Amino acid sequence: MAGYIKIEDDQTFSKQMFCIPQHYEDYLESVMIPKGLILNRTERLARDICRDLCHGPLVALCCLKGGYQFFSHLSEFIINYNGTSGHSVPFSIDFIRLKSYENDGSTNDVKIIGGDDLSSVKGKNVLIVEDIIDTGKTMKKLLEVISQFKPAQVKVVSMLVKRTPLRSSSYRPDYIGFEIPDKFVVGYALDYNEYFRDLNHICIINKEGIEKYRT
Ligand code: 5GP
């Protein structure tokens, strides 16, 4: 099973200890994972992925929009590793846009609402790059879709996996950055109704934030 960093239920940092955009200060409970730690963990994930998957052309598929920051940093680490480890493979990128959440809850209806033509994945090793796995329904649906395009191999890396024993479909990705408590998190491109993507750290939104930005 994939290794990961476990964030315990009460493990958070005071938001006063970090640089938070002023317009969000009153709407966050605390910082759960500072950006520096995300980057350090991402560097190691890139190394593990390259060692396992870089035996032929690799396509990294970014799940928009929430996965874009993680995807960007992970791709950079993979490209660096590919260029310096003495062994390299062609590396390309594709994008897909999914939607399954409204406000802070899953709608049980996963929609693919845009992205590249996935026929490019045929015969290639595909790495799906996701921001967060909650119930796992979104990823199960995406894996069904991708398999129709006949890739050689598909692996999934998710920056976060939530501890949701009662809701989970028991799906686990191949690579995991952090396992986190069952709280609604924002920042580092994860949004709440399109807000908070412009926040560096992964933070827990508070009640006031949920109310202020509810649609
Ligand atoms: P699942 O299908 O696994 O239940 O949900 C996955 C999707 O729900 C993610 O790609 C993400 O868009 C959204 N999601 C689940 N939990 C959170 C959360 O705590 N914060 C944010 N911003 N999005 C979440």
In the chain, where the domains are located: 5-213
How high is the pLDDT of residue 107? Answer: 63
Categorize the per-residue pLDDT at 197 as very low, low, confident or very high, splitting at 50, 70 and 90: very high
pLDDT of amino acid 120 = 86
The per-residue pLDDT for 105 is 67
- Give yes or no for residue 196 CB within 6 A of ligand 1: no
Tell which residue, 201, 162, 200, has the closest CA to residue 178: 162
The mean pLDDT value for 34-50 works out to 96
CATH 3.40.50.2020 fits 5-213, yes or no: yes
Q: Looking at residue 215, what is its pLDDT?
A: 87
User: What is the distance in A from the centroid of ligand 1 to the CA of 82?
Assistant: 30
Asked if residue 4 lies in contact with residue 179, where contact means CB atoms within 8 angstroms, the answer is yes
Cβ of 131 less than 6 Å from ligand 1: yes
Distance CA 84, CA 114 (A): 34
Q: pTM (2 decimals)?
A: 0.93
Q: What is the mean pLDDT of residues 51-77?
A: 92
Q: Which residues are bridge partners to 30 per DSSP?
A: 204
For residue 149, give Cα distances in angstroms to 64, 80, 112, 121, 123: 19, 28, 15, 7, 9
| Whether residue 101 has its Cβ less than 6 Å from ligand 1 | yes
User: What spacing in Å lies between the alpha carbon of 203 and ligand 1's midpoint?
Assistant: 14
Q: Which atom of ligand 1 is nearest to the CA of 191?
A: 22
Closest atom of ligand 1 relative to the 130 alpha carbon: 10
Confidence class of residue 95 from pLDDT cuts 50, 70 and 90?
Answer: very high
ipTM rounded to 2 decimals: 0.97
Instruction: Answer whether residue 106 shows pLDDT above 70.
Output: no
Percent of the chain, pLDDT > 90? 70
Atom of ligand 1 nearest to the CA of 63: 10
What integer is the mean pLDDT of 168-184?
93
Point out the least confidently predicted range of 11-15, 75-79, 97-101.
97-101
Q: Which pLDDT does position 1 carry in this prediction?
A: 61
114 pLDDT exceeds 90? no
Mean pLDDT across the chain = 91
Residue 101: pLDDT band (50, 70, 90) is: low
Separation of 107 CA from ligand 1 center, angstroms? Answer: 10
Give the separation between CA 185 and CA 120, rounded to whole angstroms.
33
